[in-house]
């Protein structure tokens, strides 16, 4: 958590290139969808953020961590804009629970473990409690929506892999 402004510090220059040594799996999907992915220092309470394009600004994913599941979560938010009719008018519970479920599935598909064991469960519980919704009923109601997000991501990845083989 930042305590002092960058300008008020002394010493060696801070590292400004926060790109990971290896990009996370599915980065090619983000690029194929025209998303800009930027890694930045933690200047907000969020580890990741998806911003849909507005005016002249491209859609982008902002990350303050190298944890792949955070990238998967934000990629799932991008998929919502590709799959659903009007994500702007969806409630926060639907947006966040489907993105988190999709990120958990993608993490498992790529052999990743939740670095904060149980954080997916806690994340989803938080939104259910906030909206006073029953957890099991919420999950069942959103399985189909989550599947559509996963299908968009995985289908894009498979198409890119086929194109690479034929190139």
Residue-wise pLDDT for 72-131, tens only, equals: 999 999 999 999 988 888 899 999 999 999 999 999 999 876 556 678 999 999 999 999
Burial 78-94 (b: 16+ CB within 10 A, else e): bbbbebbeebeeeeebb
Cross-strand partners of 48: 63
Please state whether the predicted TM-score (pTM) of the whole model is above 0.75: yes
Tell me the C-alpha distance between 74 and 147, whole Å.
16
Q: Under a CB-based contact definition with an 8 Å cutoff, are residues 1 and 24 in contact?
A: no
Sign of CA dihedral 126, 132, 136, 142: negative
- Within 10 A of 140 (CB to CB), how many other CB atoms are there? 10
Place of tokens 């969808």: 33
């Amino acid at each position: 958590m930042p305590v002092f402004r960058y300008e008020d510090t002394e010493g060696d220059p801070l590292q400004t290139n926060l790109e990971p040594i290896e990009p996370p799996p599915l980065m090619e999907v983000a690029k194929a969808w025209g998303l800009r992915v930027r890694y930045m220092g933690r200047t907000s309470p969020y580890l990741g953020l998806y911003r849909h394009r507005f005016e002249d600004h491209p859609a982008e994913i902002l990350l303050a961590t190298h944890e792949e599941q955070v990238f998967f979560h934000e990629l799932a938010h991008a998929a919502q804009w590709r799959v659903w009719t009007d994500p702007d008018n969806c409630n926060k519970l639907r947006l966040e629970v489907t993105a988190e479920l999709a990120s958990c599935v993608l993490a498992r598909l790529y052999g990743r473990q939740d670095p904060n064991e149980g954080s997916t469960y806690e994340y989803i519980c938080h939104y259910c409690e906030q909206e006073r919704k029953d957890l099991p009923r919420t999950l069942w109601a959103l399985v189909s929506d989550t599947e559509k997000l996963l299908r968009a991501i995985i289908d894009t990845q498979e198409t890119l892999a086929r194109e690479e083989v034929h190139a």
